[in-house]
Amino acid sequence: MKRKDNLQGTENVLVDLGFEDAEELSAKTALALKLNALLDRRGLSQMEAATLTGMTQPKVSQIRRYKLQNISLERLMQALVSLDQHVEIIVQPAYQTHAAGITVAA
């Protein structure tokens, strides 16, 4: 394998690796990081987390392991709300803030 000189990366490693759904995966990961931190802070088991969030234990297990392919952004947001979090979505013209895309700050 030949190394290319002057490779320019982005701020999103998933984009750099060529994932087609990199922005969505990044958003899901940010929400899952926050959700997992809350579960850790509260010392909840997967069954307890499932009961509180209305998910099944296998879904909670997927989130705990960051296997997010079958978990929607909406489901992650709902889980955070069920743990007394406020989730806010802001839509702005891209030219005023950044390039067009999805950003999650958790």
| Structural domain spans, the chain | 19-88
Which amino acid, residue 42? R
Among positive and negative, which fits the CA dihedral 16, 18, 20, 26? negative
The predicted model scores a pTM of 0.77
One digit per residue, the tens of pLDDT, for the chain of length 106 reads: 444 454 566 776 766 777 677 788 889 999 999 999 999 999 999 999 999 999 999 999 999 999 998 999 999 999 999 999 999 888 777 776 666 666 677 6
Question: Cα–Cα distance between 7 and 20 in angstroms, integer?
Answer: 19
Which amino acid, residue 9? G
Q: Please state, for a pLDDT cut of 70, what percent of the chain lies above it.
A: 78
Q: Check: CATH 3.40.50.2300 for 19-88?
A: no
**Which residue, among 70, 106, 103, 61, has the nearest Cα to 87 in the 3D structure?**
106
**Which residue, among 90, 36, 33, has the nearest Cα to 60 in the 3D structure?**
36
pLDDT at 88: 86
Residues 6+ apart with CB under 8 A from 71: 28, 32, 59, 62, 63
Question: Cα–Cα distance between 21 and 42 in angstroms, integer?
Answer: 31
